[in-house]
Amino acid sequence: MLIGFVGKPSVGKSTFFKAATLAEVEIASYPFTTIKPNHGVGYVKVDCIDKEFNTQCNPNHGFCIHHKRFVPVDLMDVAGLVRGASEGKGLGNQFLDDLRQADVFVHLVDISGTTDIEGKMTEGHDPTEDVLMLEDELNKWYYNIFMKSWHVFSRQVEMTKSKFSEAVAKQFSGLKVNQDDVKEVLLKLKLPEKSTTWTEGEIMSFASTLRMISKPMIVAANKCDQGNAMENLEKLKKAYPTYLIVPCSADSELALRQAAKAGLIEYIPGEKDFKILKDLNDKQKEALNKIKENVLDKFEQGTGVQAILNMAVFDLLKYLAIFPASANKLGDSKGNILPDCFLLPPGSTALDFAYYLHTDFGKNFIKAVDAKTKIARGKDYLLKNRDALEIFTR
Ligand SMILES: Nc1nc2c(ncn2[C@@H]2O[C@H](COP(=O)(O)OP(=O)(O)OP(=O)(O)O)[C@@H](O)[C@H]2O)c(=O)[nH]1
Ligand SMILES: [Mg+2]
């Protein structure tokens, strides 16, 4: 699974990326600081099941602090997007192509109002305009991809009497569009059955709706620590009442994680507090106090960074965190306790989990046993978040 960060220039995409990954990336206050995409690993936070077993896990990947398990997810930070990007303006549409593989977008919006629509410094900018611009460009990007092959494609589908949703999913698999996405769009838009008769407007609304459904989006209302943030946050929520909008301060999260890495503080990503571990100088104290006062104490989700990654994976994509575990033995052959936690898509069954672990487990599946309750489950059992299962094979 891949989470892509999008937004106009200078909104803090790379800062968010760096806070989540601690990778060395360039951050600066001028537009187009990032040119080539940055790939890295961040984490979603799961209540670890080790607590229920009165033990401490040893993750193979990620880490666990105070029974909060941090499970790796792939992140991608791309160049800033400006009006006309889909037609090649700014850094063009090359980097839009990098976004094809994303499953979900985090749209970073600068709610401080201190950057204009192109990412240059200003005052009093209205961020609702940025949401409109970005979505418009993403829609046009999808539309252009569709138009490249639409006429030939739709004629072929009709001639061969192929199933439309299946054909679209196949033709546009590079965009990670699946059959269910297409069906949902058709149901919603009630377009004419013959796709060869669709007008340009109809193709555009098909492309836009498919974009919305195949790449769900959360708005990271960044720079909530600065400028007219509170006022603009309300404005955004009012303008987009159905959107998931979370206030965030990527800069604060970055400072906290760096201080924690240097051993100055103890900070668990996503928490609303930190503990000072070492003697700090006045500058350090002041910086941390400011973060506490202006961000952690003020916003429900702390800096928002961890909450946004979690919401993208668990609320939007509805993924499930599943632990391979046996009721009798929680360790692997090396004695590592609960070494793995995997993220599986919604609707996954016990059999899917078996195949996920190993093809042979899938082929020779007999049953799964819940390590918490010792209840046996058949192959069609629908997985639940934080399930712990052992697979039994022939
Ligand atoms: N006040 C404040 N400033 C921030 C925050 N996040 C990022 N910034 C600042 O915003 C500026 C731009 O940050 P970047 O992370 O480089 O922005 P970007 O979106 O990656 O920009 P491009 O790569 O040019 O598209 C930098 O000066 C950051 O320090 C935040 O939460 N609060
Ligand atoms: Mg950047």
Q: What is the pLDDT along the chain (394 residues), one digit of tens a residue?
A: 999 999 999 999 999 999 999 999 999 999 999 999 999 999 999 999 999 999 999 999 999 999 999 999 999 999 999 998 888 877 767 778 889 999 999 999 999 999 999 999 999 999 999 999 999 999 999 999 888 888 898 999 888 888 889 999 988 888 999 999 999 999 999 998 888 999 999 999 999 999 999 999 999 999 999 989 999 999 999 999 999 999 999 999 999 999 999 999 999 999 999 999 999 999 999 999 999 999 999 999 999 999 999 999 999 999 999 999 998 888 888 889 999 999 999 999 999 999 999 999 999 999 999 999 999 999 999 999 999 999 999 9
**What DSSP assignment string belongs to 287-319?**
HHHHHIIIIITTSTTTTSHHHHHHIIIIIIS--
* Alpha carbon distance 339, 31 (integer Å): 42
pLDDT of residue 242: 96
Task: Tell me which residue has its CA closest to atom 23 in ligand 1.
Answer: 34
Q: Which two tokens stand for residue 207?
A: 């492309």
- Please give the helix or strand (H or E) that residue 226 lies within, else none: none
Give the helix ranges, DSSP H, for 22-172.
94-98, 128-159, 164-171
249 in contact with ligand 1, CB cutoff 6 A: yes
* Alpha carbon distance 365, 360 (integer Å): 8
pLDDT of residue 92: 66
Which residue pairs from 362-366 have beta carbons closer than 8 angstroms and sit at least 24 positions apart in sequence?
Answer: 364/393, 364/394, 365/391, 365/392, 365/393, 366/392, 366/393, 366/394
The three-state DSSP-derived secondary structure of 231-245 is HHHHHHHHHCCCCCE
* Alpha carbon distance 361, 238 (integer Å): 50
By DSSP bridging, strand 217-222 and strand 245-247 are parallel
80 in contact with ligand 1, CB cutoff 6 A: yes
Question: How many angstroms separate the alpha carbon of residue 372 from the centre of ligand 2?
Answer: 44
pLDDT of residue 57: 96
3-state helix, strand, coil in the chain (%, to 5): 40, 20, 40
34 in contact with ligand 1, CB cutoff 6 A: yes
The beta-strand segments (E) located in 12-131 are 38-47, 63-65, 68-77, 104-110
* Alpha carbon distance 361, 309 (integer Å): 31
27 in contact with ligand 1, CB cutoff 6 A: yes
**Contact criterion met (CB below 8 Å) for 13 and 95:** no
Q: Which two tokens stand for residue 102?
A: 């994303």
Q: Which of 8, 25, 27 to mutate to test the pocket of ligand 1 (most atoms within 8 A of CB)?
A: 27
